[in-house]
Amino acid sequence: MELDRDLCSLQEARNLVKAARKAQETLRNFTQEQVDHIIDMMREAGEANAAKLAMMAVSETGMGNYADKCFKNYFASRTVYEFIKPMKTVGIIREDKEHKIWEIAEPVGVIAGIVPTTNPTSTVIYKAMIALKSRNAIVFSPHPTAVRSTNEAAKIMHQAAVAAGAPEGVIGCIMNVSMGATTELMKHPSVAMILATGGSALVKAAYSSGKPALGVGPGNVPAFVERSADLAKAAEYIVMGKTFDNGTICASEQAIVAEECIAEELITHLKRRGAYFLDPDEVKKVSSVVMLGKGGVNPKVVGKDAKFIAQLAGISIPERTLCLVAPLTGVGPQWPLSYEKLTTVLGFYRVSDWHEGCERCLQLLEAGGIGHSLAIHSNNEELIREFALKKPVNRILVNTPAAMGGVGATTGLSPSFTLGCGTWAGSSVSENVTPLHLINIKRVAWHLGIPERKPVEPIKAEGTGENVQNQNQPADAQLVQEIVKQVMKHMNSIKC
């Protein structure tokens, strides 16, 4: 029975890719106006169904909260649309008259879209929008715990696209989910690129598939609070970012690093904003339920509120608590909560000055957030520049909630739910992914003229005063011989 299900799952993946390839062959010939009309209708459908999809996602996965999932669906529809709307993705997208170059956009083909359980509907809306904007078809592979909501989001996007003139099959989604089907999708000969969002193992599999892939790594975002910061605002933004959709965004804050001289005042502001500071015994209890003994976060607490985690840990917290804060003194296995926690728990570190703060942030990033993001709360631009120049991350988020700033909701970064981590984290992209990452660019280049050659001075042979060049051998051969002679002479002198 299980074998039959796996075979059905594999065949479904193949059928969806076949339909997507046929659709993409038609879509690639659409004009910019046709493409823009399609994504406008998809935007409208995403907005209209934002609340419905949010309810489905929370109900099915038990992660996050309804209000914030509504916002994420709306953000993936409206905000992403407004950002990509003016982009040229068809025909000649740039003409450099001075250097006589045309740049022509070509779609990559069929894209495999891997969807996480933490953002099962907003990721689909976002990836479908950027795929079709760049004239690509896309087939989604949902997380096993979010099949129904992910499929509903894909269905809504597909219906809107087809109603606007897109070919049938341009957006597909696997219903019979299995690891075999996901692997088949990623390795299928007709799939041109993988757009992967999910756990580290899945993203690694995407990069190991032999296909071009755009994937992301873990966040483990440190939030450094420096003495010049507006502490009340810093506390507000950190709690806001950490608790947004119960911490399910990879750019959400994972640990606060505070200068000692302002730590107590910052703690007072954090408590006013709903942060509960754990005592040493409570830290152990929370660590035991939030993190697994073998490493990694416990799936049972991902996207859960502070009350749920406190009950699981057997501790009592005030009624209005929004997040739990664990004072820590180090980074690594001895301090399990120093790692990424996609839930409403924060680490808290005290440092003597910004130099020590810089080192602590680096330790946290190296423990599992390299290349991703770092938040800094400061009004000292020179210090911000120091962090920006020295930290191995691709997003430095200044005086803003990291969760929202990283995806471009509260900053000028490209609105996106795929945040590249660059080569530090083994990622092929370092910025927020947009439709421009999903196209090939052809270049037409005109002749500009032959560069003028400067005359070459003849080389004198050592000890002769005569030119190396003679009538019997070309100048190149003589020059090579002279170079070899000099190198051999140098090597012999070393031996002696």
User: How many other C-beta atoms lie within 10 A of the C-beta of residue 210?
Assistant: 8
Q: Is 29 exposed, middle or buried (0-12, 13-18, 19+ CB in 10 A)?
A: exposed
What residue spans of 298-368 are helical by DSSP H? 306-313, 354-366
Residue 321 to residues 205, 243, 252, 317, 344, Cα–Cα distance (Å): 39, 11, 18, 7, 10
Pair type for strands 439-445 and 101-107: antiparallel
Find out whether 116 and 198 touch, Cβ atoms under 8 Å: yes
Do residues 142 and 127 touch, judged by C-beta distance below 8 A?
Answer: no
Q: Write the single-letter amino acid at 100.
A: K
Please state, in angstroms and rounded to a whole number, the distance separating the CA atoms of residues 454 and 277.
73
Q: Give the CA distances from residue 8 to residues 13, 111, 141, in Å, rounded to whole numbers and listed in that order.
A: 9, 21, 15
How is 164-190 classified by DSSP, letter by letter?
TTPPTTSEEE-SS--HHHHHHHHH-TT
Active site residue 250: yes
250, 323, 361, 421: the catalytic one is: 250
Cβ atoms of residues 429 and 420 within 8 Å: yes
DSSP string of 418-466, one letter each residue: -B--TGGGT-S--SB--GGGGEEEEEEE----PPPPPPPPPPBPTTT-S
Q: Quote the CA–CA distance of 191 and 347 in Å, as a whole number.
A: 41
Catalytic residues: 250
